[in-house]
Amino acid sequence: MTTDASAPWLIVGLGNPGPEYAGNRHNVGFMVADLLAERVGAKFKRAQKAQAQVVEGRIGPPGPGNRRVILAKPMSYMNLSGGPVTALRDFYKVPTAHVVAVHDELDIEYGTLRLKLGGGDNGHNGLKSMTKAMGPEYHRLRFGIGRPPGRMQVADFVLKDFSSGERKELDYFVDRAADAVECLVIEGLERAQSAYNT
């Protein structure tokens, strides 16, 4: 699958809107998107064409390695992310292979990152909605949050804030995830996987 290298990238942080969800494990995608927006020096604003907040900017060194990016946070709630993401993809003319979903992942340890292209949704409602709307051939950055302790239900676990122990390392892991997204966009999937898949 070849894609125009100069085509823009759409980086989607998955999460739920509203202050009551801000620190939840399920909102780690929003945290990474916020840091990337800070790095490009812009603030999120309401998208004209979609139920989302967006930032437009460029990442990478000046010259041919520089990439145009649209950072997005769907404001539709996690299980309806596909609609806003597809609307943004179409509006900005982004190839599906240049869409990156940044999301929480139960099946890998806290703070572990995994980059991949395509694949299943592993029960993640945000990915399920995106795949239904535009097919599976987009990139994912999976941010490990680990499994719930004891008998806690998955739904309760992902909608809880990170524990105080986890919060001590959260900024470091979010920073590393933002680095991984930048590496993917500038240097490609293989390079990013070898540097960040642990």
Percent of the chain clearing pLDDT 70 (strictly above)? 98
As given in the structure block, the two tokens for residue 65 are: 């390695």
* Catalytic annotation, pick one of 26, 98, 124, 139: 26
Q: What is the pLDDT of residue 89?
A: 97
Which DSSP state fits 148? Answer: P
In three-state secondary structure terms, 161 is strand
Q: How many CB atoms lie within 10 A of CB 126?
A: 28
Q: What is the pLDDT of residues 120-137, one digit of tens each?
A: 999 999 999 999 999 999
Model pLDDT for residues 78-117, shown as the tens digit of each residue: 999 999 999 999 999 999 999 999 999 999 999 999 999 9
Residue 3 has a pLDDT of 61
26 has catalytic annotation: yes
Sign of CA dihedral 172, 70, 29, 139: negative
The pTM is what?
0.95
Count the helix, strand and coil residues of the chain and give each as a percent rounded to the nearest 5: 40, 20, 35
- Closest by CA to 78, choosing from 36, 126, 113, is 126
DSSP, collapsed to helix, strand or coil, labels residue 59 as strand
